[in-house]
Structure formats: C-alpha cells, structure tokens
A and B are shown apart, each in its own frame.
Chain A
Amino acid sequence: MKPFTYERVTDVRAAGAAVLRPGARFISGGTISWT
C-alpha cells in the first residue's frame, strides 16, 4: 500500500497553498475520450 494524505479545499487561495506541498497533486473530475 502506498500511503497518502487527503484534504478538501473550498477556496482557490487554499488550493494554491496546499498543492505547494511536496508530492501534492490536485484531484477533480474529468472524462476520457479516445474513440
């Protein structure tokens, strides 16, 4: 298992600050379309 931490942000400024943490990535929605 690869441990990771999670946080939910509710404003843009907090999001920008949170992703500066080493190893951090945003998560959100998206769809794929290859066909």
Chain B
Amino acid sequence: MKLEIEQPTHLVDISRLPLKQIEEVPGGGIRIGAQAANSDVAGNDRVRALYPVLSEALLSGASGQLRNKASIGGNLLQRTRCSYFYDTAAACNKRTPGTGCAALQGVNRTHAILGASDACIASHPPTWPSRWRRWTPRSKC
C-alpha cells in the first residue's frame, strides 16, 4: 500500500480471529490455526517433538520480532512475487501485466527454476517451503 501497488479501499483486519490453536488431531498429524504466530508454532512442544524440521524452518526465517507478529496463514498465503514486483520502475508482469519481467535478466539467483515461464520467474516467498528446501540438520552444519 505504501508503494501504491495495492490500493484497497477497505481493509479487514483478521489478526484477532480465534484461530491460534495448535493441536494434535485423531489419527495423527497436527492442526495449526491460521492465526497462530510463527514463533508460537516453532516453540510449541508438540511441534518440536513431532516436526522438528518445521520448527527449525520457522526459526530460520526473519527476526524474532517478525516471527512474533507473523501468522501461519498469512505466511503461507502470501502472493507469489519477487523484489521486482515492488520496484515500480522495473517491468513486472505480475504487477502490471504485459510490461515484461525484469527478473529474467536481473538479479535472479533465488528465483524459480521449476514452474517458471517467460512471463514470470518469481518463487513463492513464505518461510516454510523456502526454508525446508534448504534445511540442513544441525549435526551436519
């Protein structure tokens, strides 16, 4: 909004919805509410015991302050985009369809290989997938 890339006329703040639960479900697995904070999930005893990779992935993303504010739902449901999306002087088909993709010839070391196209090579930015992809057990560091 500050860059006027998105210009909503009405904002609906869902940060106070009662969706912060982290609970085991019958038959195995765990259910995490969309409003659970990244830091709460990472530090949850069940998550740490059953899904240590998830805990590590979340702790490797952003800063403590951001992890305290970031929600699991908001994190996973971010729009696929890259830094050129925010640069209004650069071409970006996702921001302005038909303008091109500056990332194709730009700084693109972290961009998509799979699922890319001539129109866009942005990768999905949330913490979980990108951090899981690169996760290495501490014992091997």
Complex interface: chain B residues within 8 A of A26 (CB): 11-12, 14
Contact of A34 among B7, B17, B83 (CB under 8 A): B83
Q: Is the interface of B mostly helix, strand, loop or mixed?
A: loop
Within 8 A of A (CB), among B51-109: 61-62, 66-67, 69-71, 73-75, 77-78, 82-83
Q: Is the interface of A mostly helix, strand, loop or mixed?
A: loop
Complex interface: chain B residues within 8 A of A35 (CB): 110
- Determine whether the beta carbon of A31 is less than 8 Å from that of B13: no
Docked complex Cα distance between A8 and B15 (Å) = 8
Within 8 A of A (CB), among B88-134: 110, 123, 125-127, 130-131
- Interface size on A (CB < 8 Å)? 29
Docked complex Cα distance between A28 and B73 (Å) = 8
Docked complex Cα distance between A6 and B16 (Å) = 14
Given contacts A8-B16, A9-B16, A11-B17, contact A33 B10 (CB under 8 A): no
Residues of A at the B interface (CB closer than 8 Å) are: 2-12, 15, 18-19, 21-35
